[in-house]
């Protein structure tokens, strides 16, 4: 049981590490990319951003 618990803890720590890396990576983006992301967020909030479902995106790949 201890090994199972240890594996579960390690898995959760790995996931947390990945999420933190992605989060911190956002702050390392160049100003131009941050501005583009902000524009996309605002357009999405206003309903002016074309969205694609996951199924549609998978067809494009």
pTM, two decimals, is 0.49
Q: What is the pLDDT of residue 48?
A: 92
pLDDT greater than 90 at residue 12: yes
Structural domain spans, the chain: 2-60
Q: What is the pLDDT of residue 27?
A: 84
Question: What average pLDDT does the chain have?
Answer: 90
Phi/psi at 34 (5° precision): -60, -45
In the chain, the largest separation of any two C-alpha atoms, in whole Å, equals 52
């Amino acid at each position: 049981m201890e090994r199972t618990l240890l594996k579960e803890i390690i898995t959760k720590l790995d996931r947390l590490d990945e999420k933190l890396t992605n989060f911190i990576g956002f702050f390392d983006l160049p100003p131009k990319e941050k501005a583009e992301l902000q524009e996309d967020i605002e357009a999405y909030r206003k309903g002016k951003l074309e969205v694609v479902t996951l199924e549609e995106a998978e067809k494009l790949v």
